[in-house]
Structure 1
Amino acid sequence: MVLIEVHVTARLMDMTRAATTTGAWIEQSDHDLDAFHAEVARDTDPADYPTATHVRQGVVVYSAAAVAGADRRALQAELIRALMDGPGVVAFEDAFSHDVVDAASEAFTAIIDAQRAEGGVAGDHFGKAGANDRIWNAAQKLALHAPEVFAEYYAADVLALVCEAWLGPRYQVTSQVNVVNPGGGAQVPHRDFHLGFVDPDQLSAYPAHVHALSPALTLQGAVAHCDMPLESGPTMLLPHSQRFTAGYVAFYRQEFIDYFAAHHVQLPLRKGDAVFFNPALMHGAGANTSTDIRRMANLLQISSPFGRAMEAMDRTAMVRAVYPSLLAMKAAGRSERDLRNVVNATAEGYAFPTNLDRDQPIGSLAPPSQVDTVLAALADGLTPQALDLALVDQIGRRIT
């Protein structure tokens, strides 16, 4: 166990060094397909994961029952190594009991039916609104709709085991239920939250060490709520692709999309199985080519409790107070950079967390942030009163 922990610590240091010795920023020269191939064209050695049941298509697979009595810290060190330096993805068979999954599925179906009855159409980051069924903020909705089911569901120790390994204690769970109906198309390959949701024209503004460390802030997961054979379109995965530091930019490039299409794997799942992966792993939902399988998955996005500021600030009040001064600075001929600097220090710069039922990222990765709203108001010369209406509308979309 000590050797594994030393290896993990060394790998963290290597990741940071790799992000800086090649340059402080991700440059065009870093988007090298040969270098990417060198990272992903490697085997997953079962000997590196002694607690696993087997390795399937490069994915480390565990049995929830078999690991129940394992040394927890040693197993978590093994999971860290798999998620960071190994294939970047692990699967657990029978992670959630069928009775609990069925009860949750029944609750989720009732919530979807209620959404339909209200006339709401939930879109997602990559799918057309109405093509599939989506429940945003499914964790809160399940807790309010069926608290007993919620309690049994999130008592599953496999979830806690992996979350504590990657994020430490006091992790924050969110989830979105996605039902891909027969005929539902595949997603484009992508990386996930945080940098995975940043507009591509802004990614190069983040230094390379942020690209390397961003994945440590989030863990992605998916719980199968039905059997998922290949024809139902289980998640497409590219093992080891999380190792490529420039991948947040590269996944937008056609040659990387083509590489993913030629080399990805798909892992059939049974009801109650769960997959967890590094958010930097290139992945995407597969096409549901079946005629009768409504593929339901609970998509888990678990966050570090540390990803927040030290002080709670009323940034809307700050914007209202400062905006007249910004208009005066603009009228006096101050540079766009000066104006942007003030806005960045004043307004909320991140689109999340938000209420994705009302503030949906349809056609984009994220809805506009408050910074985006204020900069647009400045560009259009909106009056303080007009900006205030826009802020009130935005706040109304974001609140739970």
Structure 2
Amino acid sequence: MTHTSISSSTDWIRPEDARLSDLLEVLTAETELDDFPHASRVEQQVLVYDWATLRPDAADPTSRRDVRAELARALSEGPGIVVLAGAFDAQPLDRATAALERMVVDQRSKGIAAGDHFAKPGANDRIWNALEKLAVADPAAFVGYYANDALALAAEAWLGPGYQVTSQLNVVNPGGAGQTVHRDYHLGFQSAEVCAAYPAHVHALSQALTLQGAVAHVDMPLESGPTLYLPHSQKYAHGYVAYQQPEFQSYFVEHHVQLPLAAGDAVFFNPALFHAAGSNHTSDVRRMANLLQISSAFGRAMETVDRARVVEAIYPALLAARAAGMPPRDVANVVAATAEGYAFPTNLDRDQPIDGMSPPTQADLVTDALAAGVSQVELHDRLERQQALRVSH
């Protein structure tokens, strides 16, 4: 089957070119169990692997290579999502759950209503940077939890070695509303207009830079709202500019699939898969999942650059050039070569998204400072305030 996201026929992917009929053509694909010999079963087009059965193959270096190749194929050419049933043993899961629950209680006691990209602050409970916070709060729990080989297997399969794990605890409380359909980080956190500024090959590349995962910390019956998915949708080339359009959202509402999960199950999916958290219709289930976002080793520059230092050094010269008539495009080119133009990584407890899913970038700050003609002292203060928001603790 042709991988639609990779073999785009256009150089640019525009919102006005997104057609639901094209997505429906992609979705005619069927998940065939025979194509994935290590899988145990297919449920609603989703591949399910029983970890107890898969673990011996994962432990053998030769067969582990084959399993990784199969998982990568499942995430790209297959349904885009796999469930590793029973991936986490009860003891390390329960200890981590207890530590994470204490964080939620502590956060509530401080009156902190942590929002996320889609839910209103206070609607549910979210612990940003749960990975670092768990390590500090209970190192032994952290070690037992992240020793998990199912997690490592999935990360290696999609990203290879050198990956970096981040996590956010998400608790959808009884009555908690779900999300609208979306794709995930990187391009999935941008508006359709911003996505359209990136060439087509970057739309294909974005999904290869991260792996999304979720570990169920409690049993999740359907009525508790486990994540909704549209299997095979990661292969739709225009997905990043399409998912916010009403007809795509309506289709998702009518045709998504949803699988119940047991505590200890882990789900891994291509970040380009259309998905959304479901609404919790129970009166007594606090749906707790540790959301894993695992990043490629390659999403980094070759050299360490103190960009704030560079910005402050050139700011007077750039102000003078702008005042002397340097064209706006040329000014923007200097800012792009100088300042950090991406909002992440950051501390989402403090550096909250504004008017969207991303907080302002350092480049935004510099551009605003230039437009206002602020002094270098004021620029320095603004840069320091922004940097303080981004520190992890």
TM range (shorter): over 0.9
TM-score by length of 1: 0.94
Extract structure 1 runs of 4+ deviating beyond 3 A: none
Cα distance, 1:30 vs structure 2: 3.3
Residue identity in the other structure for 2:39: A
Q: Secondary structure at the match of 1:141?
A: helix
**Preserved contact between residue 235 and residue 284 of structure 1 (Cα < 8 Å):** yes
Residue 270 to residue 363, structure 1, CA distance change in 2 (3 Å): farther
1:66 aligns with 2:66: no
Q: Alpha-carbon deviation of 1:15?
A: 4.9
Rounded to whole Å, the distance in 1 between the matches of 2:328 and 2:246 is: 33
Query: Aligned pair 1:47/2:24, yes or no?
Result: no
Contact 1:125 1:362 in 2 (8 A): no
Does the CA contact (< 8 Å) of 1:124 and 1:362 recur in 2?
no
- Report the Cα offset of residue 381 of structure 1: 2.4
CA contact 2:164–2:296 (8 Å) conserved in 1:
yes
CA 1:270–1:288: 2 relative to 1, 3 Å: same
Matches of 1:214 and 1:175, distance apart in 2: 19
Separation of aligned partners in 1, 2:371 and 2:252: 39
CA distance 1:286–1:362, shift in 2 (3 Å): farther
Equivalent residue, structure 1, for 2:194 = 202
Gaps of 5+ in 1: 1-6
Q: Where in structure 2 are the equivalents of 1:156-175 lying within 5 Å? A: 156-175=148-167
Kindly report which structure 2 residues correspond to 1:232-271, keeping only aligned pairs within 5 A, or say none: 232-271=224-263
**In structure 1, what residue type is equivalent to 2:75?**
L
Tell me which amino acid in the other structure corresponds to 1:53: S
Mapped partners of 1:336, 1:291: distance in 2: 56
Q: Post-superposition shift, 1:379?
A: 2.0
Cα 1:116/1:363, change in 2 over 3 Å:
farther
TM-score (normalised: structure 2): 0.96
Residues in 2 aligned to 1:40 and 1:102: alpha-carbon distance in whole angstroms? 38
Letter in 2 for 1:152: G
Query: Cα RMSD over matched residues?
Result: 1.4
Query: How many residues get paired?
Result: 387
Amino acid at match of 1:258: S
Shift of 1:207: 0.2
The answer to whether the 8 A contact 2:85-2:264 is kept is yes
2: CA distance, partners of 1:366 / 1:15? 24
Verify: 1:273 aligned to 2:265, yes or no: yes
After TM superposition, the structure 1 = structure 2 runs for residues 116-135 of structure 1, keeping only pairs within 5 Å, are 116-135=108-127
SS in 2 for 1:68: helix
- 2:151 counterpart SS class: helix
Partners of 2:315 and 2:191 in 1: how far apart?
A: 25
Matched, 1:25 2:12: yes
Separation in 2 of the partners of 1:127 and 1:325? 43
Q: Say which of 361, 368, 380 aligns to 1:369.
A: 361
Structure 2: state its 5+ residue gaps. 58-62
Identity of aligned residues (%): 56
Contact kept, 8 Å, 2:354 with 2:360, in 1: the verdict is: no
Give the aligned partner of residue 60 of structure 2.
none
Partner of 2:205: 213
Show CA shifts across 1:41-91 (max 9, x none).
322111111111100011000000000122211111111111001100000
